[in-house]
Amino acid sequence: MEEAVSAGRLREEGNALFQAGQHRAALAAYTRALSLDCSGPERAVLHRNRAACHLKLEDYAEAEADASKAIEADGRDTKALFRRSQALQKLGHLDQAISDLQRCISLEPKNKAFQEALRALGSSMHEKMKTMSCTDSKVEQMFQILLDPEEKDADKKQKAAQNLIVLAREEAGAEKIFQSDGVRLLTRLLDTAKADLMLAALRTLVGLCSGHRSRTMAILAELGAPRLSAVLGVEHEQVSLAACNLLHVMFDSLREGLQKDFRGKEDAVVLDSSKDMKLLIKDLLELLPLEGASAHGRDNALNLLIKVVPRKSPKETNNSMSLWVIDQGLKKILEVGSTVCGAPGSLPVTENTRMSASVLLSKLYEDLKCDAERENFHHLCEDYVRSWFEGHELAGKLRAIQTVSCLLQGPSDAGNRVLELEGIMDSVLSLCASVCEAHQLVAVEALIHAADKAKRASFITANGVSLLKEIYKHSERDSIRIRALVGLCKLGSAGGTDFSMKQFAEGSTMKLAKQCRKWLCNEAIDTSTRRWAVEGLAYLTFDADVKEEFVEDKAAMQAMFQLAKSEDRSVLYAVASTLVNCTNSYDHEEPDPQMLELAKYAKQHIPEQHPKDKPDFVKRRVRKLLTAGVVSALACMVKSENPALTNSCRELISRVFLALVAEAEDRGGVVAQGGGKALIPLSLEGTEVGQTKAAQALAKITITSNPEMAFPGERIYEVVRPLVSLLHLQRTGLENFEGLMALTNLAGISERLRQKILKEKAVPMIEGYMFEEHELIRLAATECMCNMAMSKEVQELFLAEDSDRLKLMVLYSGEEDEKLRRAASGTLAMLTALHPPICKRIPQVTVHWLEILQALLLSPSTELQHRGAVVVMNMMAAERGVAEQLIASEMLEILSVLAKDRDKPRVAQAAQEALAQAVSYGLIKPGPGQD
């Protein structure tokens, strides 16, 4: 706690710090001075000085607010007016900035700095007005350049296209383009079929549609959903992606309506956009089975449907859009999922297409609310599979089996149902022995996906294992052998991490893993085949011996990380699963000893942990993964916008990150390689478990690293919400504790961060944990409140009539736990300094207040003594009545002794200030030699 000094002295200190370039320290000095009693003119100067600090720190809103307070006190203060004009200019309010500068010049007509500033600002304003006034002609010129077939200057065309896109991002510009027959002209650009012009048109349309429902509906009526769908399906990948982005923006605008800035204009107009949404969705569904559509166009259509059709949350009651899509388009989605690559008439697809179809089917199935809806889904799937299986000979059987694989990877309940249809499983087993590689691939993959499902596992164990072994041993094709191996891996890992449940003979699992690693490192094999090696490891790494060998093979680890960064995103889940196994970051509960005894008595199976899964082994494996570059791979995986990055996949990645930051010394490296940035989106979306794990990892980083370096710029504010989520009651004690510790660090950095914590409604939760029985959680909550008390809003809470906040803080200042006393008394010292009315309330909250303060002053801890002395000093200064109560007690004697203690100068200084205040009230006489 600072020594008590006068406002004037603090202002001088702030001025010296400002001159030395220490702007944050200067700001703190001026703020401290403002908390003391000082005259109106003195306060105005302090506000003016704080405005200068804020300008240097680029906090322009605060600079404008402080300068305004100085101007309220003295409207002729040219320094404050000039500083406010600078802040207003940075905030974009040029007209107000000019007004302030004109006032400055009227007060000081010969001031050259004011004249020069006004000239520069006037020029900026003139340019802005000129730009606005000639927007009409500029729009026309841009379209003329773009649509002129004679115009050969590529740079000129590119500049015109860029200007059009930039103009469309501003509401006024977007409206001007729209009113200037822009949609018709943009349609002409689209119809040129030239990639650069189509991109310009699509990106401009994004600006026109963003956040504006009525404009979106008008544009959709002009362009037509079929045209947009056709553009989505073009071969040019960038054009298809730009069309996908436009359609996404259109869906958002149709669903959400107008942004709040424009809502007032069109609230009176009843706009029903559901019909337009269905038109767009219908055309996307039509695109899926279209042979002429490009592979990436088909992927983009699937990705869009995943984003816009299912409900965002189960809290939304209306799932009519999903039901409509199932009735209108389920068979079209299955057409994509059942595509057999290389077969005559097969649809063009990418490595990710079938996975995207599986994810969409899964999302639709999860969106169903009752058995009748689910039964309809099952019947449609069964009818589709039968339609191919019966009467289409071999080609039809292959399509049917491929559909089964697609469903097993998506809505597995539906996959299991079709797997049980008569003849399906027999066809799978017979085709596994086919001499045709393409046919064998389809069958073996179906068998592998079926092996995942417990319902079929016993059947496959009995009928499929021997077949898979035969294929693995005797096939000459690596693509077939690797898939057979994965099937064996799945069946071999049925016991999970239970060391006592071994499916294969001793050593077999290790041999399979070695072969997987060999294939993984063989770059001569294509990526889609190597992906299956990771699938195998995802199952085999349940075995601790396999984990240990894998982390010793740096080449295999790095090969897996490279695959995770490749365009084949279907590998993400397998990579994440392998890493979860290696880091032991899955959930594992310690068995109840009594239940273990009962299980032994009943001769039931008792799971056993592998000796190499103990903490020391796990810690070493984590270090090996970090050295091999796991963080950059995970960060790349999180960036993926592919449907393969499902919520369950996000959860796995969050679990791995939490394991990677378990040791404090590893956290800096994780942040340096992009881990901090990657954790923020993981903590904000996905499963609740995944979000919590990511938030806990963020908390660990925030506790031991400098948050401003770990999360630079605006990113630090994004960390607040995840940390606050750790304070909810359903979280564990450790999560609560780490969340509080991290928030304490953030709250000590800046007022803006404290405001963000307040906005997230964290203060009531922090208060709740101050009553927690666990002493560490109680301490962390009190320390957090101490930092939060620097905010005016929090200070006011301590004065609320119906609150025991202040009472609790006073009582905690008298607790036996020294750390808790330190935190509570620090909060009291802060509150009494920054908010003097609190000083008057302390004697009213508990009868023990005097003895608690005296105990602080008599403490053997110098820090506690100092905090107690500052509280007493502040209370003395606050009101004569409070000072009388203090002096009437033994406090006078204690203060007199402390004031002479030369070994504790800060304590002595505070005690002297308190006694000086008592003298000024006339409560005591000055001692010999005192003024």
pLDDT the model gives residue 118: 85
Residue 568 in contact with residue 576, Cβ under 8 Å? no
CATH 1.25.10.10 fits domain 505-652: yes
Q: Is 674 left (phi over 0), alpha (psi -120 to 50) or beta?
A: left
**pLDDT tens digits, one per residue of 838-867:** 888 888 888 889 899 999 999 999 999 999
**pLDDT tens digits, one per residue of 754-763:** 999 999 999 9
DSSP one-letter string for 120-164 = HHHHHHHHHHHHHHTHHHHHHHHHHHHH-TT---HHHHHHHHHHH
**pLDDT tens digits, one per residue of 780-810:** 999 999 899 888 888 888 888 777 888 888 9
Class of the CATH domain delimited by 798-930: mainly alpha
Assign 3-state DSSP to the chain and report helix, strand, coil percentages, each to 5.
Answer: 75, 0, 25
Task: Please tell me the distance from the alpha carbon of residue 91 to that of residue 36, in angstroms, as a whole number.
Answer: 31
Tokens of 54: 């804020």
pLDDT the model gives residue 663: 92
Task: Please tell me the distance from the alpha carbon of residue 582 to that of residue 579, in angstroms, as a whole number.
Answer: 5
Short-list 426, 443, 423, CA closest to 434: 443
Handedness of CA 687, 689, 692, 698 (dihedral sign): negative
pLDDT the model gives residue 496: 42
* Residues ≥6 apart with Cβ < 8 Å to 377: 326, 330, 364, 365, 368, 411, 414
DSSP one-letter string for 314-329 = TT----HHHHHHHHHH
pLDDT the model gives residue 265: 41
Class of the CATH domain delimited by 7-110: mainly alpha
pLDDT the model gives residue 582: 92
In three-state secondary structure terms, 35 is coil
- Within a 10 A sphere around the Cβ of 807, how many other Cβ atoms? 17
Task: Please tell me the distance from the alpha carbon of residue 48 to that of residue 63, in angstroms, as a whole number.
Answer: 9
**pLDDT tens digits, one per residue of 643-667:** 778 888 999 999 999 999 999 999 9
User: Which CATH number is associated with domain 136-309?
Assistant: 1.25.10.10
Domains 505-652 and 798-930 share a fold: yes
The conformation of residue 475, written as its DSSP 8-state character, comes to -
The conformation of residue 566, written as its DSSP 8-state character, comes to S
Residue 298 in contact with residue 336, Cβ under 8 Å? yes
Short-list 875, 783, 879, 771, CA closest to 829: 875
Query: Would the pLDDT of 607 be above 60?
Result: no
Query: Would the pLDDT of 112 be above 80?
Result: yes
pLDDT the model gives residue 560: 93
Query: Would the pLDDT of 603 be above 60?
Result: no
Predicted confidence band of residue 608 (pLDDT cuts 50, 70, 90): low
Q: What percent of the chain has pLDDT over 90?
A: 32
Short-list 502, 506, 498, CA closest to 606: 498
Pairwise pLDDT comparison (761 vs 160), residue with the higher score: 761
**pLDDT tens digits, one per residue of 476-505:** 788 888 888 888 777 766 544 443 334 455
- Cα of 829 vs its chain's centroid, Å: 36
Task: Please tell me the distance from the alpha carbon of residue 642 to that of residue 235, in angstroms, as a whole number.
Answer: 19
pLDDT the model gives residue 699: 95
**pLDDT tens digits, one per residue of 551-576:** 999 999 999 999 988 877 888 999 99
Mean pLDDT of 76-93: 88
Handedness of CA 804, 808, 809, 813 (dihedral sign): positive
Task: Please tell me the distance from the alpha carbon of residue 675 to that of residue 630, in angstroms, as a whole number.
Answer: 10
* Residues ≥6 apart with Cβ < 8 Å to 215: 174, 175, 178, 208, 209, 253
What are the structural domain ranges in the chain? Answer: 7-110, 136-309, 313-393+403-421, 424-494, 505-652, 798-930
Reported as half-sphere exposure (CB side, CA atoms, 13 A), residue 694 has a value of: 32
Reported as half-sphere exposure (CB side, CA atoms, 13 A), residue 208 has a value of: 28
Q: E strands, 450-605, where?
A: none
pLDDT the model gives residue 486: 82
Residue 375 in contact with residue 416, Cβ under 8 Å? no
Predicted confidence band of residue 468 (pLDDT cuts 50, 70, 90): confident
Q: How far is CA 55 from CA 15, 37, 48, 49, 599, in A?
A: 15, 26, 11, 10, 70
Predicted confidence band of residue 833 (pLDDT cuts 50, 70, 90): confident
pLDDT the model gives residue 524: 85
pLDDT the model gives residue 594: 55
**pLDDT tens digits, one per residue of 175-221:** 888 888 888 888 888 888 888 889 988 999 999 888 888 888 889 88
- Cα of 437 vs its chain's centroid, Å: 44
**pLDDT tens digits, one per residue of 31-75:** 888 888 777 888 889 999 999 999 988 888 899 999 998 998 888
pLDDT the model gives residue 882: 87
Residue 856 in contact with residue 864, Cβ under 8 Å? yes
Short-list 193, 206, 192, 296, CA closest to 248: 206
In three-state secondary structure terms, 773 is coil
Residue 338 in contact with residue 283, Cβ under 8 Å? no
Query: Would the pLDDT of 893 be above 80?
Result: yes
